[in-house]
Structure 1
């Protein structure tokens, strides 16, 4: 989001993001950057290295489980949408299109609501919400 607002291009994202690293995370980055065998570290590579360091696999697995177990149950659609949005930030390929995102959101709705929404055959997240 910040990149879109500030108009930061793909080739500047690593430099921009690492500027904000402080303390231990900055030390980690400086060491990691020095050890990399490439001159330019891509944004995708940086994200992977950062997540591996600060968001270990077991935590990623826990987030996956929470995301796929998320159901509306006894909360409002608004509360469900808020939780869905929070968890979806880490789901990448599972919801990397509007249609996938909409379908997954719809699957977690209360059964009676899900069946009514399904009748409209909506394909965008905003429309389903």
Structure 2
């Protein structure tokens, strides 16, 4: 819905009106009665979404989503996967991410420890910058890992070659010749 608002350049004071237009059946009836109870009060998009979620995302589900968000750790996910999951759950707990500082702090806490230690030194203040720097750290680690695996493989191959030449050197000719 937010993307549609952005595309149509809907002003903040009109978002609730536009959003409620798309409600159907029971949700539409619910909104009509809720509006009547609010008696002409100006309803912001934030208030509309709060009321909608309160009605259709029961407190039990809200609590479960909040816990999933607070317990979210990168663990075996790539940074891109973690960021997607973080953003997906953050929609349901806006009070935890309503400032850049809060969003950065919570996202950073969930990072793999080796990434977190690298980006913590940078004291990053914006979410976008944190995600970008964390992706760089993760990418550099992958490059370093591949390079060291390549060197290890070359070393092992050279050890095998040296081992077989030592064997031939001790006994003269290859065994079985």
State the TM-score, normalizing by the size of structure 1: 0.89
1:68 partner SS: helix
Query: 1:13 and 2:15 equivalent?
Result: yes
Pairwise mapping of residues 1-129 of structure 1 onto structure 2 (< 5 A)?
1=2, 2-34=4-36, 36-43=37-44, 44-129=46-131
Aligned partner of 2:161 in structure 1 is none
Which is richer in helix? 2
The answer to which of 12-21 and 36-45 deviates more is 36-45
Could you tell me whether the CA contact under 8 Å between 1:95 and 1:101 is conserved in 2?
A: yes
Distance 1:42 1:104 in 2: 30
Count of matched residue pairs: 128
How far residue 5 of structure 1 moved from its aligned partner, in angstroms, is 2.5
Which stretches in structure 1 are left out of the alignment for 5+ residues?
none
How far residue 51 of structure 1 moved from its aligned partner, in angstroms, is 1.4
State the TM-score, normalizing by the size of structure 2: 0.67
Distance 2:101 2:64 in 1: 24
RMSD: 1.5
Could you tell me whether the CA contact under 8 Å between 1:14 and 1:41 is conserved in 2?
A: no
**Which of these two proteins has the greater Rg computed from alpha carbons?**
2
The answer to which of 89-98 and 58-67 deviates more is 89-98
How far residue 32 of structure 1 moved from its aligned partner, in angstroms, is 2.5
Which stretches in structure 2 are left out of the alignment for 5+ residues?
132-177
The superposition leaves residues 3-43 of structure 1 with CA deviations (integer Å, 9 ceiling, x where unpaired) of 23322223212211111001211122223223x15113412
